[in-house]
Amino acid sequence: MRIKVVSPSTQRAQHVANIVRNSGPGLDVLATTSPISGLPEAVNGSRPALLVLDGVDTHGLETLGQLVLAQPDIDAIIISAEQSPAFLLKAMQAGVREVLPPPVDEAALQAAVQRVARKRRPVEAPAELGEVMAFVACKGGSGASFLAANLAHLLSVRDGRTVALIDLDLQFGDALLMLSDQSPASDIAEVARSIARLDAELLRAAMVQVSGTLSVLAAPEELTQALEVQADHIGAIIKQARQMFDFVVIDVGRSINAVSLRALDAATHIFPVLQLNVPNVRDAKRLRDLFRTLDYAPQKIHWLVNRYEKNGDITLDSLQHTLGVQRVATVPNHFAGVSASVNQGVPIGKLARNNPVSRALVDLTQRIAPVEKGKRDSWFSTIFGN
């Protein structure tokens, strides 16, 4: 990548150019001494991919804006003592990617150059995108968060595939607590605030690494921060996560709004979770009607009865008839095992390997995302032990 460093001072131009050269391999860096007002002459047809400009003031921004307007394929990083909000806004309007204060911080400048270099790498053929599995509760307390977290864990312990768990229960999300006692350094609201800079590096840094193959993007700690997250933010986050992970599991929560609908639209599999009682079944019918209105394919929907007991007042047959579906998956009721898992923050597959809830979740995982027979035996051994 060709980079041109422009500064009114020869000494500073060389100093900045040396820092830029150490940003990475394959950089063609030239240093030029010129006032910013002489920027068109300094560029002089060399067509750099990136300009690093030292000592820029408001008038210099106007000159830069005219150059970028004529050559929009040029990126710019500027070093300026001006750091007022008005100046930063004008810099953004002029097409500047980043504004750094003097004296220049080597690490900050090199990181900025590296971000531009990554953006300009040749576009490779798109890799296969990860599958998106969204869990939505038909009624509060259905156990959807527990099932989403534990299914994410099961997917992550087989054949090295990577899994992202995104907690989209923005006001009361606690999916991370089901898997780990780690405190998140960031959360989904923080990512939303930086959505213009979203890339794999930013998203991974915001996630809690539960294991080498399982990462969690936590819900906000503060209830008010949930209001900052918009549907477009969620669309961008899911798109980025699908490029990074083999599976993206989303705990949608119970609210149906623009944010949750964006996640459901993006899902390859949707798991409505309910219990066999009248209020749950009533809300399941409402959710089914919504899915039909949204024209979701029937094979995308996997109805899941949690805390299932065979001798309950409502049978699976009657539920299937009510919903107009041919198949409903079940997770048995096992209060002691689930309670221990939740209270300890340990996946139930690790805490109680032969628990019937664990086995039901393994069956569900294998039905939705099958593992080849040879690998399946190894996977089962990892979960249940032999």
Distance (Å, rounded) from C-alpha 348 to C-alpha 140? 21
Q: Which of these, 4, 103, 7, 113, lies nearest to 55 by C-alpha position?
A: 7
Domain CATH number, residue 91: 3.40.50.2300
Structure tokens at 81: 């003592």
Residues 141 and 195 in one domain: yes
Out of 90, 119, 148, a domain closes at 119
User: Does residue 125 lie in a domain region?
Assistant: no
377: Cα separation from own chain's centroid: 31
Residues 153 and 290 in one domain: yes
Residues 364 and 336 in one domain: yes
- pLDDT tens, the chain, 386 aa long: 889 999 999 999 999 999 999 988 888 898 999 998 888 888 876 678 899 999 999 888 888 888 888 888 889 999 999 999 889 888 888 888 899 999 989 999 999 999 888 877 764 444 578 999 999 999 988 999 999 999 999 999 877 789 999 999 998 889 999 999 898 989 999 999 999 989 999 999 999 999 999 999 999 988 888 888 999 999 999 999 999 999 999 999 888 899 999 999 999 999 999 999 999 999 999 999 999 999 999 999 999 999 999 888 899 999 999 999 989 999 999 888 888 888 888 888 788 767 899 889 888 888 887 776 655 555 545 555 54
Residues 89 and 171 in one domain: no
Structure tokens at 3: 């980079």
Helices and strands of the chain, counted as H and E runs: 16, 13
- Residue 97 structural domain: 2-119
Out of 119, 145, 165, a domain closes at 119
Residues 182 and 294 in one domain: yes
Distance (Å, rounded) from C-alpha 101 to C-alpha 153? 44
Q: How far is CA 320 from CA 168, 229, 269, 346, in A?
A: 28, 36, 19, 33
Residues 167 and 279 in one domain: yes
User: Does residue 124 lie in a domain region?
Assistant: no
β-sheet bridge partners, residue 96: 76
User: Does residue 64 lie in a domain region?
Assistant: yes
Structure tokens at 106: 């080597």
Residue 276, SS3?
Answer: coil
Residues 178 and 99 in one domain: no
Q: Please tell me the predicted confidence (pLDDT) of residue 124.
A: 47
Residues 157 and 74 in one domain: no
Structure tokens at 36: 């910013």
Q: Residue 17: enclosing H or E segment and its boundaries? A: helix 10-21
Say which residue the tokens 């009721």 belong to. 333
Q: Please tell me the predicted confidence (pLDDT) of residue 146.
A: 95
User: Does residue 349 lie in a domain region?
Assistant: yes
DSSP state of 301: B
Strands of the 269-274 sheet, one edge to the other: 208-209, 214-217, 163-167, 247-253, 131-137, 269-274, 304-308, 329-332
Residues 62 and 182 in one domain: no
Structure tokens at 62: 């106007």
Q: Residue 316: enclosing H or E segment and its boundaries? A: helix 316-323
Residue 308, SS3?
Answer: strand
Residues 166 and 28 in one domain: no
Domain total for the chain?
2
Out of 119, 141, 170, a domain closes at 119
Distance (Å, rounded) from C-alpha 160 to C-alpha 215? 13
Q: What DSSP string runs through 49-96? A: SEEEEES--HHHHHHHHHHHHH-TT-EEEEE-S---HHHHHHHHHTTE
Q: What angle do CA 94, 100, 106 make, to 5 degrees?
A: 135
pTM across the whole model: 0.65
Residues 58 and 152 in one domain: no
Q: Residue 244: enclosing H or E segment and its boundaries? A: helix 231-244
- Count of residues making up the chain: 386
User: Does residue 254 lie in a domain region?
Assistant: yes
Kind of pairing between the strands at 214-217 and 208-209 = antiparallel
Residue 102, SS3?
Answer: coil
Domain CATH number, residue 222: 3.40.50.300
Residues 14 and 111 in one domain: yes
User: Does residue 380 lie in a domain region?
Assistant: yes
User: Does residue 196 lie in a domain region?
Assistant: yes
Distance (Å, rounded) from C-alpha 89 to C-alpha 26? 32
User: Does residue 126 lie in a domain region?
Assistant: no
Q: Please tell me the predicted confidence (pLDDT) of residue 342.
A: 87
Q: What angle do CA 98, 103, 108 make, to 5 degrees?
A: 40
Q: What is the largest CA-CA distance in the chain?
A: 85
